């Protein structure tokens, strides 16, 4: 470990990887010791990049900072757009927000629509793994019950992930969590109105019960830049008996290529910070995570 900076290095790796997703753009290299803004680095020369899809001006994207009609209210609710960070106040330099986690080697917005925080919500739907008789299955080494969660395979990068997505302007996080799960894991957008009603009924049961907020804040994401970054609220909804999810058929939709129940353990390789969120769920639910830590 590199002293007090160890955790920081660990939480700011994907945001420094090249090439930038969906492009051939290479970031300027940022060594671990130069990540923090408090470290002076006069020769820092980040690459400027904002994707064409963002510059085209879709409704989910801000204009360029240089546009005279655009005067965003950073660090506050700006009309329907939430520009507050879950991590507190962020600095503004030359009119641009500054990534609170440090340098990334790239300025502009990359693939992200908003300057500053881009808010997402990640619903972690879990159940206990059971045998054919309906009994919970215990892991032979740790002796703990095995928890499963609904995972999707992302179309953009092919990695397995939690079926989350961006919070629409003015939308409550709870609504985003339910909407994204329906769209990506149940293919709700392609269903008839009768099927949609049935899905909505079951989801209401699942999403109206007690839940655990697992994480709120900055996410180490390969799309992050010096001026735009991902933040999320990861929330666990647990189907204790498994009966609610038995009434719903998993079917990939929207941004998802595949969807399935996945056993939770430290062997999971997941997108962005998702494995960390899943580990926190396992700890909170006292479920199996690792063979090593139990055996040590």
14 part of a folded domain: no
pLDDT at 212 over 80: yes
> What is the Cα–Cα distance from 259 to 251, expressed in whole angstroms?
6
Does residue 146 lie in a domain region? yes
Q: For residues 121 and 175, what is the distance between their CA atoms, to the nearest angstrom? A: 9
Cβ atoms of residues 36 and 30 within 8 Å:
no
60 vs 16: CA distance, rounded Å: 24
Q: Over the stretch 52-94, which tens digit does the pLDDT of each residue have?
A: 999 999 999 999 999 999 999 999 999 999 999 999 999 999 9
Confirm whether 251 is domain-assigned: yes
pLDDT tens by residue, 113-141: 999 999 999 999 999 999 999 999 999 99
Report yes or no on 230 lying in a domain.
yes
Give the domain extent around 208. 119-285
pLDDT in tens, 6-61: 334 457 898 999 999 999 999 999 999 999 999 999 999 999 999 999 999 999 99
- Which pLDDT value is given to residue 140? 94
- Whole-structure pTM value: 0.85
Q: In whole angstroms, what separates CA 191 from the centre of its chain?
A: 26
Domain count, the chain: 1
Average pLDDT over residues 167-187: 88
Domain membership of residue 111 (yes or no) is: no
Q: What is the mean pLDDT of the chain?
A: 90
Q: What is the CATH number of the domain that holds 263?
A: 3.90.79.10
Confidence of residue 293 (pLDDT cuts 50, 70, 90): low
Domain membership of residue 131 (yes or no) is yes
Element (H, E) at 159: none
94 within some domain:
no
Whether 204 is covered by a domain: the verdict is: yes
For helices 193-207 and 173-185, the axis angle rounded to 10 degrees is 130
Percent of the chain exceeding pLDDT 90 equals 67
């Amino acid at each position: 470990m590199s002293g007090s900076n160890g955790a920081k290095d660990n939480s700011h790796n994907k945001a420094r990887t090249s090439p930038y997703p969906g492009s051939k753009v290479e970031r300027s290299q940022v060594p671990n010791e130069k990540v923090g803004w408090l470290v002076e680095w006069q020769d820092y020369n980040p690459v400027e990049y904002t994707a064409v899809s963002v510059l085209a001006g879709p409704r989910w994207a801000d204009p360029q900072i240089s546009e005279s009609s655009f005067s965003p209210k950073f660090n506050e609710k700006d009309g329907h757009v939430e520009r507050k960070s879950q991590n507190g106040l962020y600095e503004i330099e030359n009119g641009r927000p500054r990534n609170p986690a440090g340098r990334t080697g790239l300025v502009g917005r990359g693939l992200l629509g908003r300057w500053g925080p881009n808010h997402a919500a990640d619903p972690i739907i879990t159940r206990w793994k059971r045998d054919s008789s309906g009994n919970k299955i215990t892991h032979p080494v740790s002796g703990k019950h095995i928890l499963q969660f609904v995972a999707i395979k992302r179309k953009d990068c092919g990695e397995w992930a939690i079926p989350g997505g961006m919070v629409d302007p003015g939308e409550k996080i709870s609504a985003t969590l339910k909407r994204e799960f329906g769209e990506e894991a149940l293919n709700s957008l392609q269903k008839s109105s009768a099927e949609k009603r049935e899905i909505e009924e079951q989801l209401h049961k699942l999403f109206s019960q007690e839940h655990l907020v697992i994480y709120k804040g900055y996410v180490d994401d390969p799309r992050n830049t010096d001026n735009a970054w991902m933040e999320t609220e990861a929330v666990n909804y647990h189907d204790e008996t498994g009966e609610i999810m038995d009434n719903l058929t998993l079917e990939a939709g929207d941004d998802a290529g595949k969807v399935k129940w996945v056993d939770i353990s430290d062997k999971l390789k997941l997108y962005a910070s998702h494995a960390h969120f899943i580990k926190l769920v396992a700890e909170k639910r006292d479920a199996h995570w690792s063979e090593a830590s139990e055996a040590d």
